[in-house]
Amino acid sequence: MAKKRVPDWLNSPLWSSPSEQHRFSSAVPEPPEQPPSPPPLTIKQDPPSIQHSRTNHNHNHNAIAIATSSSSSSASTSSADENSHSRQAQSQANLLAELSRKVIDMRELRRIASQGIPDVSGLRSTVWKIFLGYLPPDRGLWSSELAKKRSQYKRFKQEILINPSEITRRMCNSGNYDADEVKCETRGILSRSQITHGEHPLSLGKTSIWNQFFQDTDIIEQIDRDVKRTHPDMPFFCGDSQLAKSNQEALKNILIIFAKLNPGIRYVQGMNEVLAPLFYVFKNDPDEENAVNPQFYAFRWITLLLTQDFSFVDILRIWDTLISDPDGPQETLLRVCCAMLILVRRRLLAGDFTSNLKLLQSYPPTNISHLLHVANKLRVQPV
């Protein structure tokens, strides 16, 4: 039986890609035409040296192409970085110019800030406070507004974050009772007649401070659990350090006060995550009363005599001065610590809370001779 021939139109390039066309045509070949016999050719082999030269030429060409591509890529990256830095510098200049006005143009400030706020110490914090209504557009009112809001929050802490037993004790000491009843103060307890129904720990009255305290306990415990889970990968929020514990306590207090001041909302799980960026930005504002507490870094400097902050060779050089100084090692050590702060002064002023804390806890390598020279300049000159 004769094999059926595939129709010509099926092998048309219109129906297949070049690779598929090759596959089909090789599977079912067309009957070849008889080409004319070519004249005899003499194939000349290239000399090995020429082949080697051409091979090297090809390799050199490829190397040049790769180098050119790499150089072009590096140039593009460098150019992109320069453009990014240029845009940040321009944005920073525009924001500072707008913030320096006596009355800030909110529309213009929003336009500039929408492109991103440079990560410069205090800049983002100030802009956020203005947008959130914490600071007014009029710069002349900033000092008074800050003082008023800080005083208000301090009052909230005193009135809201107080244990009912403390309230009862204050009432006992307020002088509303006669002399005989005030004797309870010396005994450290309250007589039964002094405690009203609303002030009794077992009272279920709606106005009872104790009943309200027990109702708030569940919310406070929830807040405490959530705060401890806030950004566990950031030492700023989590860990056993004094910084993390202090920040957790501050977050907890803020959320409790918010819940008490907003009984219709109270606390909803996840509010700690909403608070975290605000707290982080405002905590890192150098204009706020949030300077890096010396106990976070100086405690180790002083108690261990700088033995964990410099190389062993540098420690020996510092100790030469500590031991030989006529003022004694304690005074000399304090001068050295002050000199350490002076040498990184510019970096501290330009950094935020987190970067400054990291800098001071991991002091950078420095010229010890220069450090001791600066420390000696701090010596009190006799009058």
Amino acid at residue number 298: A
Average per-residue pLDDT in the chain? Answer: 74
The answer on pLDDT for 108 being more than 80 is yes
Nearest-angstrom CA–CA distance, 237 and 235: 5
Q: Which residue has the higher pLDDT, 212 or 123?
A: 123
Q: Taking the model in full, what pTM does it have?
A: 0.52
Average pLDDT over residues 248-268: 91
> What average pLDDT score do residues 31-37 get?
46
pLDDT above 80 for 381: no
What mean pLDDT is predicted for residues 191-209?
A: 53
Residue range 310-339: average pLDDT? 90
The model's confidence at residue 185, banded by pLDDT at 50, 70 and 90, is very low
pLDDT band at 199 (very low <50, low <70, confident <90, very high): low
- The fraction of the chain above a pLDDT of 90, given in percent, is 26
pLDDT of residue 19: 44
The 10s digit of each residue's pLDDT in 340-376 is: 999 998 888 887 777 888 899 899 999 999 999 999 9
Q: Is the pLDDT of residue 161 over 60?
A: yes
Q: When comparing pLDDT for 4 and 83, which is higher?
A: 83
- Bigger pLDDT: 89 vs 253: 253
- Whether 184 has a pLDDT exceeding 90, the answer reads no
Average pLDDT over residues 315-340: 90
> Is the model's pLDDT at 267 over the cut of 70?
yes
Q: How confident is the model at residue 73 (pLDDT cuts 50, 70, 90)?
A: low
CA 55 → CA 35, 43, 47, 66, distances in Å?
Answer: 35, 20, 12, 16
- Tokens 């993390």 sit at which residue? 244
pLDDT > 60? residue 144? yes
Q: By C-alpha distance, which of 255, 254, 359, 340 is closest to 302?
A: 340
Taking residues 117-137, report their average pLDDT.
87
Q: What is the pLDDT of residue 170?
A: 55
157-184 burial string, b = 16+ CB within 10 Å, else e? Answer: eeeeeeebeeebeebbeeeebeeeeeeb
Neighbours of 297 (CB within 10 A): 22
At residue 264, the pLDDT reads 87
What is the pLDDT, as a whole number, of residue 369?
93
